[in-house]
Structure 1
Amino acid sequence: MAVKRKTLHDFFQPADTTRKGHLSNGGDSAALHNPERLFTVPAGLSIIKQFISVDEEQAVLSFLDSQTWRTDLSRRTMHFGGTYCLMPPRNASPEVKKKIEQTIIQAVPMPPQLGFLVDKMVTHGLYSDTQRPAYCIVNEYLPGQGISAHVENFRFDEPVCSLTLAAADSMRFHELERAHDGSVRSGKASSAPRTGRREDVVMDRRSLIVLRGDARSTWQHEIRRASASSKPLGWRRVSLTFRVDRRPGQKGDSMPKLGP
């Protein structure tokens, strides 16, 4: 009998996140005061090296691999909190397109096994304790896999933080002529006007990359699809990208006004 192919919503059912114990900041945890390395280009980009310890990295990877991965994309992914995954029909009206593009598919909440990562980001001053990240997308990259150039959906506030596990890789940034809300699923990323300037940034294993300001809104970022032969046998990188809600009516809105 033919096996029914899973649909998008099959990957957003309640999942068991209770099999592993909660991780703490004690023991051999990486130091909480590793300094941020600030970049001048792209402005607003910073990296915190050794954000977590080797043992914490292994515990997170073991937990993730005990969960159900989403397999309907070219790479395996996992979502906590919610995600934008709906593409409007080509013939949809502008009103319908906007409604669909702003719809979040709810996923299981942030599991306690990842709570210590959020705690560390709060301790580092990346987020406040009253505005903690509620959304996390996990991406697994194998040789030959990547993600196209995009900016994070402007529905989310800043910073956007991404943790690299299992292996190092590089992220390529493309400067835009102006802020452009072209996320991966929006279908707008390829039309974003670029200046032609680009920068490659190395993401070490266990490092946290932080996007604020221009780096978050006026530079696209991508993981290039390098040939399988350019990576060692068994190479695998797992990234966890954390996002935070924009507060309704937030005073001094941190996100830029979009150009024409």
Structure 2
Amino acid sequence: MEKYRVEGAPPTIHYIPDFITEFEEQSLMKQIQNAPKPKWTQLSRRRLQNWGGLPHPKGMIAESLPEWLTKSVDKVAQLELFGGNKPNHVLINEYLPGQGIMAHTDGPLFYPTVTTITCGSHTLLDFFTPRTDDELDVRSDQTENKSCDSAREPVVSLLLEPRSLVIVQDEMYNKMLHSIAERGFDEISSDKKIANLHLCSETYAQKGSCERGTRYSLTIRHVPKTKKLPAWFKV
């Protein structure tokens, strides 16, 4: 794992390019796109799916992950990132070109490690220092998104390529906000504080300006507090 550590960012980020194959990527996107309509939660400017249950402060009612997700989840589990636990929840976000997500933290419902597989299109993930404790408490992976303050400069950014895995832990999980700006193009250059550019394909740096397509993010996490459905509910 050490060779995948992003040295130009506060502790701790790892970035693994080509974590899944093109075949796996296409298979995942097909399954995501063909998911039953009730699995989609429609927000104002994006939509998402929850698999494994719906995280809740009182405990997530655990559900089995579908077979088409288990290969990717098992692959992440092999990295042993969740304190001896296996990831049990997958949040899938769909981002159309021009869509993003407000600056937020993932919060205490999850083990303090977040892993995300990117499928389809690249994006830039920006990290910010919170201005207040209240801002640090903002959660947005289940709520409506708003544009991040465009006047703020990110402390660091990451280029997330298709088929890559990014792992966020420690200070970067607990003390930093992360967001995706709402834009259709990204400027990729070494002076943009893109800390993992040396781990990425040279194709992006050579292009300079890269157009976004539709991106699917698979955020794979462990929810420590779970509960089972009561017996009467299953009847």
Mark yes or no: TM-score above 0.5: yes
State how 1:196-207 maps to structure 2 within 5 Å.
Answer: 198-207=155-164
1:40 to 1:115, Cα distance in 2 relative to 1, 3 A: same
Percent of residue pairs bearing the same amino acid type: 26
1:199 to 1:135, Cα distance in 2 relative to 1, 3 A: same
Letter paired with 1:112: E
Deviations 1:199-238 (A, max 9, x none): 11111111111010011011100011014798748x1111
Residue matched to 1:9: none
Match of 1:183 among 114, 118, 139: 139
Contact kept in structure 1, 2:77 and 2:87, CA below 8 Å: no
Distance in 1 separating the partners of 2:26 and 2:17: 17
Bigger relative contact order (CA 8 A; separation at least 6)? 2
Contact kept in structure 2, 1:172 and 1:200, CA below 8 Å: yes
Deviations 1:104-150 (A, max 9, x none): 6758532111111121112223246x511111110010112111000
RMSD over aligned Cα atoms: 3.3
Distance in 1 separating the partners of 2:132 and 2:153: 13
State how 1:85-234 maps to structure 2 within 5 Å.
Answer: 102-103=57-58, 106=61, 108-127=63-82, 131-176=85-130, 180-184=136-140, 198-227=155-184, 232=211
Deviation of residue 64 (structure 1)? 1.2
| SS of alignment partner, residue 176 of structure 1 | coil
Contact kept in structure 2, 1:165 and 1:237, CA below 8 Å: yes
Contact kept in structure 2, 1:178 and 1:218, CA below 8 Å: no
Distance in 1 separating the partners of 2:21 and 2:138: 34
Distance in 2 separating the partners of 1:38 and 1:50: 16
Deviation of residue 37 (structure 1)? 3.1
Contact kept in structure 2, 1:175 and 1:196, CA below 8 Å: no
Distance in 1 separating the partners of 2:175 and 2:27: 35
Deviations 1:62-118 (A, max 9, x none): 11111135252121211102235xxxxxxxxxxxxxxxx725675853211111112
| SS of alignment partner, residue 239 of structure 1 | strand
Normalising by structure 2, we get a TM-score of 0.70
Residue matched to 2:20: 52
Which segments of structure 1 move beyond 6 Å, counting only runs of 4 or more? 228-231
Contact kept in structure 2, 1:38 and 1:46, CA below 8 Å: yes
| SS of alignment partner, residue 209 of structure 1 | strand
Consecutive unaligned residues in structure 1, runs of 5 or more:
1-32, 85-100, 249-260
Distance in 2 separating the partners of 1:243 and 1:124: 12
Deviations 1:160-207 (A, max 9, x none): 1011101111001002368733211589x99xxxx9762111111111
1:67 to 1:51, Cα distance in 2 relative to 1, 3 A: same
Residue matched to 1:78: 49
Consecutive unaligned residues in structure 2, runs of 5 or more:
187-208, 227-235
Letter paired with 2:40: R
Contact kept in structure 2, 1:154 and 1:181, CA below 8 Å: no
| SS of alignment partner, residue 163 of structure 2 | coil
